[in-house]
C-alpha cells in the first residue's frame, strides 16, 4: 500500500513537468587559494629584498663619499700640522738659545750685579728676553 502511494506520487511528479534546481555554492579549490597566497607572499618578499638591497647600496655609496671626503680633510689637516710644527720647533730652539745666553750672562756678571746701576742695565736687557719667552710659551699653547 505504501509503495503504491510512493510510486503514484513519483509518477504524478514525473508527469507534471516540475523541475527543481538548487543553487549550491561550488566547492572552493583550497590548493589553488594556498598557491595564490604563496605566490603573493613571494612577490612581496622579492620586492622587499630589492628595496632593502637598493637602500643598503645607496647608504654604502653615500658613506663611501663621506669617508673619502673626510680622509682628504684629515690628510690636509696633518699636512697643515706638519707645516706649523716647523716654525714652532724653530722658535723653541731660539728660546733655548736665549735662555742659555741669559744663564751665561748672569753667571759671568754675577759679581757686578750687586751694583745698583748695573742691575738696571741687566734688567733692561734680560726683561725683553723673559717677555719673548712668555710670548713663545703663549703661542705654543694656542690652538691652531
Q: What is the DSSP string of 62-77?
A: HHHHHHHHHHHHHHHH
Which set of grid coordinates corresponds to residue 88? 714652532
Residue 58 has which C-alpha cell? 645607496
pTM of the predicted model over 0.95: no
Burial pattern 9-29, b for ≥16 Cβ within 10 A else e, equals: eeeeeeeeeeeeeeeeeeeee
Residue 123, pLDDT above cutoff 70: yes
What grid cell was written down for 136? 713663545
Give per-residue pLDDT as tens, 41-99.
999 999 999 999 999 999 999 999 999 999 999 999 999 999 888 888 888 888 888 88
CA distance 17 to 6: 17
pLDDT for residue 143:
55
The share of the chain scoring above pLDDT 90, in percent, equals 31
Amino acid at each position: 500500500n505504501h509503495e503504491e502511494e510512493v510510486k503514484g506520487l513519483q509518477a504524478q511528479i514525473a508527469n507534471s513537468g516540475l523541475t527543481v534546481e538548487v543553487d549550491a555554492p561550488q566547492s572552493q579549490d583550497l590548493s589553488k587559494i594556498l598557491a595564490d597566497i604563496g605566490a603573493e607572499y613571494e612577490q612581496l618578499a622579492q620586492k622587499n629584498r630589492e628595496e632593502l638591497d637598493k637602500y643598503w647600496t645607496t647608504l654604502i655609496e653615500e658613506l663611501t663619499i663621506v669617508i673619502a671626503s673626510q680622509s682628504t680633510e684629515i690628510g690636509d689637516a696633518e699636512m697643515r700640522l706638519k707645516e706649523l710644527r716647523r716654525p714652532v720647533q724653530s722658535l723653541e730652539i731660539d728660546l733655548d738659545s736665549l735662555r742659555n745666553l741669559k744663564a751665561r750672562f748672569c753667571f759671568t756678571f754675577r759679581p757686578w750685579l750687586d751694583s745698583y746701576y748695573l742691575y738696571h742695565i741687566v734688567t733692561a736687557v734680560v726683561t725683553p728676553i723673559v717677555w719673548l719667552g712668555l710670548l713663545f710659551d703663549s703661542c705654543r699653547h694656542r690652538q691652531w
